[in-house]
Amino acid sequence: DAGVIQSPRHEVTEMGQEVTLRCKPISGHNSLFWYRQTMMRGLELLIYFNNNVPIDDSGMPEDRFSAKMPNASFSTLKIQPSEPRDSAVYFCASSLQGRDTQYFGPGTRLTVL
Amino acid sequence: QKEVEQNSGPLSVPEGAIASLNCTYSDRGSQSFFWYRQYSGKSPELIMFIYSNGDKEDGRFTAQLNKASQYVSLLIRDSQPSDSATYLCASYTGRRALTFGSGTRLQVQP
């Protein structure tokens, strides 16, 4: 069975450009999470969806970040405009419910020049 | 104070030894705890979880939970070089999704 799928795996862009990261959770999972990981700050939760509804977006750094989950099998994280400090690895994870084991995708390594 | 705290390491142990990784948490309402392993350049993967006080064993791994002391640990017996990775501790409090610690880097010396 396929795990969490993320695309692209690597993204290099210039400051000011829009970046869209995509995620397909494991089929049947009701909760989806977006994380950002850097050496300095570790693994940070950005936003958490349950049944396609955003439950907790307190980790979204600022208005430049937005996330959507239009259906149970797809989510996007958008950064507009991007800045060099957004460079990080962005992980998507899914679980049956919020309290359950989370399964992580392979991540997207974002570099903003 | 961070909700979940771990020593960043690196923790260095010789091959065949027991590696002991520790984690403390601040929220007494925490209900369950998870240990993830993350190899360099890879995504976190679950090793085991624990809900109840005491020990839980799975192969070479043992998770220990002491709710009175707000302490969780992971023991790795017969450590192998392939165990060299960063180990992330996470807690679930019921209010939001998992809260992760910053991770402990383990190095197993051949």
* pLDDT more than 90, % of chain B: 80
Which tokens belong to B83? 């165990």
N-terminal to C-terminal alpha carbon distance within chain A: 37
Contact B96 A43 (CB under 8 A): no
Phi, psi of A12 (to 5 degrees): -120, 125
CB-based burial label for B5 (10 Å; 0-12, 13-18, 19+):
middle
Whether chain A has a CB inside 8 Å of the CB on B94: the answer is: yes
| Banded pLDDT at B95 (limits 50, 70, 90) | low
Question: What's the pLDDT tens digit per position in A33-52?
Answer: 999 999 888 898 999 999 99
Which tokens belong to A20? 């869209």
Give the distance from residue A107's alpha carbon to the nearest chain B alpha carbon, in angstroms.
7
- Residue among B1, B3, B2 nearest B92 (CA): B3
Residues 49..78 of A with a Cβ closer than 8 Å to B: which?
A: 55-56
Whether chain B has a CB inside 8 Å of the CB on A42: the answer is: yes
* pLDDT more than 70, % of chain B: 97
Which residue type is seen at B101?
Answer: G
- Residue among A45, A39, A46 nearest A64 (CA): A46
Contact A102 B102 (CB under 8 A): no
Contact predicate A17/A81, CB 8 Å: yes
Phi, psi of A8 (to 5 degrees): -75, 170
Interchain CB contacts (distance < 8 Å): A and B: 46
Average pLDDT, chain B: 93
Question: What's the pLDDT tens digit per position in B19-57?
Answer: 999 999 998 888 899 999 999 999 999 999 999 999 999
Contact A101 B32 (CB under 8 A): no
Contact predicate A104/A97, CB 8 Å: no
* pLDDT more than 90, % of chain A: 79
Which tokens belong to A38? 């850097």
